[in-house]
Amino acid sequence: MTRDLNALCAILRGESVETPSGEADDRLRNEGRVHRVDRLLAWRTSQIDDDLRAEAMLEELEVRELNRVLAGLQSHGIAPLVLKGAALAHTHYEESWLRPRLDSDLLIADSQRETVIDALRGLGYSRPPFISGELVMYQMPFERISVMGQVHALDVHWRVANPQMLSTLPGYEELSSRAVTVCVRGQAMRTPCPVDALLLACVHRAAHHDLSDELLWLYDIHLVAQRFTPTDWDDFVALASRCRVRALCVDGLRAAHGSFQTQLPGTILTCLSADSQWTERSAMFLRKDLTAFDRFRADLGALSYVGKVRLLAEHVFPPSEYVKQKYGVQRRALVPFLYLRRLAGLGRTWQSSNPATQRPRDTRSASSSSGCG
């Protein structure tokens, strides 16, 4: 870690450190913005300015809007789970506005998709064109623009992760059976239990964000893990083992410890490792040179022959409205040519690595004191 990043992590850990001034302070604040923890930095150093106050006010509007959505879905017999940042903001952060997010993630039962679409349409939401299909995507975006011009965005999932090899992760019914209900501004909000929340945080960082070293993701993991009891760790090891994502969990916990000195049971990383990097297919997400084609090929390998054909077709021939918007073309007669252009582009995209995966990551081991759980 750089000196500035070390100082930033120390402040976020709540350590009593002298806040720099001048150019050093500018560098520290820039690091905070890059890692999306600038709100936390200002909170810890009592340097909340007018811009942050405005962001807190906008967050309050987001909370009220999410509550309106939850109440509206409930009136249709839908009880979604609120996932990821939108949930952790209320279950683990001191103030919900300290956890920035671009949208709110909801998990529903697969059978409820059409009901949810109708309910959200009635609440003023629309679906922008997006690549969709039964195998290529397990989520759909919605957005609504308020009278004040604020964009409210939702991501509705019916499976917690898109990669086919992660189909072992718990589904809506299982997560719902362990869900925790919190009261937010008078509205009941159902969120994953802490064990499920930690598993999802580790897997999401690896599978959807290329093992990002962004401090926001690691701080999520840190906050959830810090509150674990020995029983929670027992349950976590069992769940990660059953879902075959132990290697991804080890990486997330080790990275969180490296940045925030997260207190972990002494043998937890050993218990979770146990050759998982060589026996779990999901461990491929630990590769820094992973390309889009590697992901696609792994998805194909997890499907039957019919599934392989269908997935390929969904990638090559997404909805025409999505293709027209992507290339900025409205004439329907040009759609076949747009598909040909897309096919040529996929070859180049699939062979290129995500630049975010090229950053070095902290591989230091964690040290702690108690048992495996």
- Tens of pLDDT along 9-22? 999 998 866 777 78
pLDDT higher for 342 or 49? 49
Q: Report residue 216's pLDDT band, with 50, 70 and 90 as the boundaries.
A: very high
Q: What is the pLDDT of residue 142?
A: 96
CATH of 3-232, one of 3.30.460.40, 3.40.50.720, 3.30.420.40, 1.10.1370.30: 3.30.460.40
User: Residue 253 pLDDT > 50, yes or no?
Assistant: yes
Percent of the chain with pLDDT over 70: 90
Q: How far apart are CA 56 and CA 62, in angstroms?
A: 10
User: Residue 354 pLDDT > 60, yes or no?
Assistant: no
Q: Report residue 362's pLDDT band, with 50, 70 and 90 as the boundaries.
A: very low
Q: Report residue 348's pLDDT band, with 50, 70 and 90 as the boundaries.
A: low
Sorted by where each begins, the domain ranges of the chain are 3-232, 292-352
User: Residue 351 pLDDT > 60, yes or no?
Assistant: no
How high does pLDDT run on average in the chain? 87
Which of 10-24, 49-63, 121-135, 193-207 shows the highest mean pLDDT? 193-207
Q: What is the pLDDT of residue 268?
A: 92
Q: What is the pLDDT of residue 15?
A: 85
Query: 190 has which bridge partners?
Result: 181
Q: How far apart are CA 297 and CA 241, in angstroms?
A: 24
pLDDT higher for 20 or 115? 115
Q: Report residue 370's pLDDT band, with 50, 70 and 90 as the boundaries.
A: very low
